Structure 1
């Protein structure tokens, strides 16, 4: 890989604009993810089952599109590809105001949701095109994640206000405002200097084949993606556990989310120092899997619990989860970038996004079945999954390094 010194003023300015643009679009995301279910079922009148099927169909399209969209960023200017994606998602979000039935809902949802994973891959490719050094790339992605979380939190607060009012006009204003945030992101991205990923471009199909056919990379990506179960652990597993298997107040689940959000904002950038090379990232990912498994075991120990002792155990489990999540995210960036073919970087990032998205699709169901259905045993099963992923990674990364393409 070709490294560079400190970012130039032009590059630093471009990265700052991307950072602010990401924060603004995340504000819209947080608002939308808070209100979409009630808007579609309560205001538009689509059944919950139909909404679920539509989201699943859109997610399937997103999985199929992630690698080709990333490959487009390799073939063309990633900035232009990202602007087009943002414009389409702007139109799709505005289109929710016109949804009046199942088919219009499906068209708009596919256009909006299916481009999310590919958009993340293209954004990573754009950062990689602006910053040549992998360490600096990972650090910049961490800064963007912090901006994303701040935006999500602010947007969720606005969405909660919309739900409190629960009037059609409130939902209309919120959706229109969300469309504006995506438009702002498109405009901001358009001001970033156009850059191409280093090296001669190749046909999109060739880059897709390069990424999908790199089996050692696929193996690493799959193992790392299993650690992303940590997100469904907080959103699904913990609330189910507290409500069904303990005598603790359900508000404790919300407190844990706050602890996680604050910890991510404070710790994600420093955590990148633990993943500066593929070898360091592997060690960090292994430690993350262990920390997440410990968090599961601590939560399992609170079965039937109540009072200060059980609350303390849950908080300690939340801190172990936070450490695991910070390390997982930092190591996932370092490995997905550090083991990829530079000429097909976008396609490789699309593959990594698709793997993570696949786990996220099944994550809530896993926790519902394991923790909601089997209690303590469910936590042991999830802990075993985290430990399995951690134990496989060293061998998989060594194999990927041995098979590393010559142009990396």
Structure 2
């Protein structure tokens, strides 16, 4: 048993370091991609937007089936394959001046991201069976991800400062190498525990599991907090206040540092599904409070308004930490172990759906209604958070009944 634990620990460390290195590539690419695609390759913003929309839709459709594959195939090898394809797609951006090559590279790179996250979560669940240990492992990987993103974004800033085609291409090569490092490190992860094939029900049974789908659906609504920070806040500061736009960048830095320091401790608030449901509810309340604070800064300027934005940023960070920790525990705690890949794929699909509509929601709400847009967002967060405990109780009841039927046979 000790040897098994040691092997699992080694595997989790390899995944953590691999995730950190690949995140450097993510941070580098997401810092430079807009200028590279438009200024170096010469694609119009409309073309780039269309490519990203098509890729996002493909990722939404692919997430659940890819996750289900992890139940039938070795999730390590599947994750290696997905990472290698994404590395090849990134290399495809080097000659992607033609529209077909650009679309192919974009769809392959973006669309596999959500499915890869589902497979990674299923792999972690296969390496360790205890729920708190799973959440700790996922929290550690998220910390590594944000640390890597910060390093990559710093390197990307240097590329933007040089603003030369050669510098952009070197950055792309560096991103390819980062993904290949993750693929190689994943190959060294020990084989995870595999459920009995006869017990699997597959993706269709997951989609028919209405309590689970309702639970991850309402929980996923809280992921609007990411669009709130990346889209809502900068649009608000630029268009509705007299505060410096750099303040929104500072809030991103605050979030990244806070996640690095707080994600692992936040997992202690969601060690059990019951705790996770309560944490998700409180996260919705806290995120709603952050929105209401921001609504008071319309036409604001000076130190007081900036302090209110910072206070809202702190509340946003607390809400995000709680939501992420709760989401892991709920999605893992109520899934069927035999179909963990399929269940995690469904979870990623729910999150991807929210992420597709999030930027548009904040853009339309804030442009159309001003402070009222923040009130609307607050209401969405509050309703979603308060719905999580009820959905969790529904899921728990169905698991108890299923267990009773199984014992009576």
Tell me if both proteins adopt one fold, taking TM over 0.5 as the criterion: yes
Match of 1:127 in 2: 124
Q: Which runs of 5+ in 1 are unaligned?
A: none
Contact 1:59 1:113 in 2 (8 A): yes
Q: CA deviation at 1:272?
A: 0.4
Q: CA deviation at 1:385?
A: 0.2
Match of 1:139 in 2: 136
Aligned pairs for 1:75-224 within 5 A? 75-200=72-197, 206-224=201-219
Aligned pairs for 1:184-333 within 5 A? 184-200=181-197, 206-333=201-328
Q: Relative to 1, partners in 2 of residues 1:140 and 1:5: Cα closer, same or farther, differing over 3 Å?
A: farther
* Partner Cα separation in structure 2 for residue 218 and residue 337 of structure 1: 13
Match of 1:33 in 2: 30
SS of equivalent residue, structure 1 residue 97:
coil
Select 2:348's aligned residue among 337, 350, 353. Answer: 353
Contact 1:201 1:343 in 2 (8 A): no
Q: Which runs of 5+ in 2 are unaligned?
A: none
147-156 vs 363-372, which moves further: 363-372
Match of 1:61 in 2: 58
* Partner Cα separation in structure 2 for residue 74 and residue 119 of structure 1: 13
Select 1:52's aligned residue among 49, 55, 67. Answer: 49
Q: Relative to 1, partners in 2 of residues 1:201 and 1:25: Cα closer, same or farther, differing over 3 Å?
A: farther
Q: CA deviation at 1:5?
A: 8.9
Q: Within the alignment, does 1:384 sit opposite 2:384 as a pair?
A: no
Contact 1:27 1:151 in 2 (8 A): yes
SS of equivalent residue, structure 2 residue 191:
coil
* Partner Cα separation in structure 2 for residue 223 and residue 356 of structure 1: 10
* Partner Cα separation in structure 2 for residue 6 and residue 377 of structure 1: 58
* Partner Cα separation in structure 1 for residue 163 and residue 396 of structure 2: 54
TM-score normalised per structure 2:
0.96
Q: Relative to 1, partners in 2 of residues 1:282 and 1:129: Cα closer, same or farther, differing over 3 Å?
A: same
SS of equivalent residue, structure 2 residue 197:
coil
Q: Report runs of 4+ in structure 1 exceeding 4 Å deviation.
A: 4-7
Contact 1:89 1:115 in 2 (8 A): yes
281-290 vs 108-117, which moves further: 108-117
Q: CA deviation at 1:48?
A: 1.0
SS of equivalent residue, structure 1 residue 184:
helix
Select 1:397's aligned residue among 381, 392, 401. Answer: 392
Q: CA deviation at 1:311?
A: 1.5
Question: What are the superposed Cα offsets for residues 244-277 of structure 1, whole Å, 9 maximum, x if unpaired?
Answer: 1112111111111111111110000000001011
Question: What are the superposed Cα offsets for residues 328-359 of structure 1, whole Å, 9 maximum, x if unpaired?
Answer: 00000000100111101011111111111111
Q: Within the alignment, does 1:43 sit opposite 2:43 as a pair?
A: no
* Partner Cα separation in structure 2 for residue 100 and residue 312 of structure 1: 45
Question: What are the superposed Cα offsets for residues 294-347 of structure 1, whole Å, 9 maximum, x if unpaired?
Answer: 000011111122222212111111111111000000000000100111101011
TM-score normalised per structure 1:
0.96
SS of equivalent residue, structure 1 residue 100:
coil
